[in-house]
Structure 1
């Protein structure tokens, strides 16, 4: 948001994340987005928390690995809703901050974004590489400065399950929702 704002690009944050579970995690992440958007006077659209539809689409993909078919389904679903909203409200470009994470596959994300925009004439997906020019480091810097919540898994219940399995195998405690913030001790 900071980079777009500094560049004079007018944009709206569209928050549609029916994949994030549990609801406590979803609400924390949404509130962090709202707080930062408000700080920069950026319009914020709160789309439905459409978990039933997400779980229906995830059937049969529960055991897919991160970056696998389940993630593609999830990105497709979220980009499809974003593209529809953009089309219905006169936006010409959509993009995503998903690619800033080093844990995500940029090609997978960009393919989903382009696929979602394709049915709408005049709508394009901007596949900007947010990782370039220190973008990932800048994200951490801003997160610490703003004392953002530090998510410890992608967001879906299956990612949480798999991350906790991995942590247990390493002798670490399971993820505790709502306690980890950048720049603060784990309480």
Structure 2
């Protein structure tokens, strides 16, 4: 049996069906590299998608603006509406207090996801959306069950709101995510966005004789490959 080609050039994208039959979706997005593959899949499926950018976890502000502007650029390319939510960093730090040393995928991440999905679900309820989802789950660095649990919990707080827990990684989604990021020349980084993720990533890099993360530089994978040679 020949191997299926799931690359951007070889993959015949299917028409996606939403869980409640809606053709209007509020999609929480964390950054363009994660969102790009998801956004293209939704565009092909003619799902009326509005991108909701609420990520007060991203620090510092300059990093937040870089990631947001890349996401805006791709949304404009696809003709998708883009909601720039408040940079609510003080509230985020208050919510995270006491969990600073939790590991990646631990309780701190749950608190962070809860906060971001709560605001997404509230916006959906107040602005005529019945369906929400998130691009967070496409990254292999994240726990999909943790993300979907937070999304479902937030949606359940508002009558009539459904969280779409589609597995965006399947059938080569994660690989196309990276391929599309290179094609679109997206700015991307090696840490999720928060100062604690940056701290832990830098500790890991230093322990292996690598330089600390250099913010503002595109395609960190290429830099890592050169270090491995």
TM beyond 0.5: yes
Corresponding residue number in structure 1 for 2:42: 4
Say whether 1:101 aligns with 2:139. Answer: yes
Say whether 1:20 aligns with 2:58. Answer: yes
Provide the C-alpha distance between the structure 2 equivalents of 1:106 and 1:57, rounded to a whole number of angstroms.
22
User: 48, 52, 70: which is aligned to 2:86?
Assistant: 48
Report deviation, 1:179.
1.0
CA offsets 1:149-183 (integer angstroms, 9 cap, x no match):
12110110000001001111011000011012379
Pairs aligned (count): 186
Within-5 A mapping of 1:81-92: 81-92=119-130
> 3-state DSSP class of the match of 1:132?
coil
Within-5 A mapping of 1:140-179: 140-179=178-217
Provide the C-alpha distance between the structure 2 equivalents of 1:90 and 1:169, rounded to a whole number of angstroms.
49
Provide the C-alpha distance between the structure 1 equivalents of 2:101 and 2:112, rounded to a whole number of angstroms.
14
> 3-state DSSP class of the match of 1:133?
coil
Provide the C-alpha distance between the structure 1 equivalents of 2:117 and 2:140, rounded to a whole number of angstroms.
20
Moved more, 173-182 or 105-114: 173-182
Report deviation, 1:18.
0.1
> 3-state DSSP class of the match of 1:38?
helix
Within-5 A mapping of 1:111-130: 111-130=149-168
Give the ranges of 4+ consecutive aligned residues of structure 1 lying more than 6 Å apart after TM superposition: 182-186
Corresponding residue number in structure 1 for 2:98: 60
The runs of 5 or more residues in structure 1 that have no matched partner are none
CA offsets 1:89-133 (integer angstroms, 9 cap, x no match):
010100001000001000000000000000111100000000001
Report deviation, 1:144.
0.5
Note the aligned Cα RMSD (angstroms).
1.4
Corresponding residue number in structure 1 for 2:8: none
Say whether 1:35 aligns with 2:104. Answer: no
The runs of 5 or more residues in structure 2 that have no matched partner are 1-38, 225-229
- Contact kept, 8 Å, 2:66 with 2:187, in 1: the verdict is yes
